[in-house]
Amino acid sequence: MLDPLDSVEVLSYILKRAQETGIKMTYVKAQKLLYCCYGVVLAKFGVRLCVESPRAWQYGPVFPRAFGAHHKKRLKSSALFIEGPSFPASIKSAIDETIDFFGKYSATVLSKWTHREGSPWFIASNAGKDLHGPIGDVLIKSYFAENVVDADA
């Protein structure tokens, strides 16, 4: 159905979509939107959106390669695979809806949301005591299936 994409490409798409729809962006907010897209696609379709997995950093889930590329302004500006005709329309639609929904919130609000007790970040980081480790797909998929994705959609 979908081969996982490069996290830098997905983040590039998120930034492009945000610009087109007037969503204000920071480095932290961009990472939270990438995480939300990753979680929604995993919960809704059972596939990984990115090859890179999120890590439990201080301010929540972070995709280190994508963060580094964004911070160093090394994002791709060309048309992305997500916009191509071979990319599943249902997954693109879910990504767009996720960006539009979560994009309404500030980086601070999104960071607090990812830190909630019981969240994948909270569990993977031992409540913030063990940072920089991976956040497993099983935790993410379960959390997003139970708390974000509408089962009837």
CB atoms within 10 A of CB 147: 13
Q: Model's pTM, two decimal places?
A: 0.93
For residue 40, being part of any structural domain is answered with: yes
Give me the residue label for tokens 């791709």: 76
pLDDT tens for 44-54 read 999 999 999 99
Let me know if residue 153 belongs to a domain. Answer: no
CA 49 – CA 46 distance, rounded (Å): 9
HSE (side-chain half, CA atoms, 13 Å) at 100: 8
* Model pLDDT for residues 76-122, shown as the tens digit of each residue: 654 467 777 778 999 999 999 999 999 999 999 999 999 999 999 99
Range of the domain at 96: 7-147
- Report the domain count for the chain: 1
**Per-residue model confidence (pLDDT) at position 75:** 66
Is the residue at 1 inside a domain?
A: no
CA distances from 100 to 33, 34, 41, 97, 129 (A): 10, 12, 15, 5, 32
Dihedral over Cα of 22, 24, 27, 28: its sign: negative
CA distance 17 to 131: 30
Give domain status of residue 91, yes or no: yes
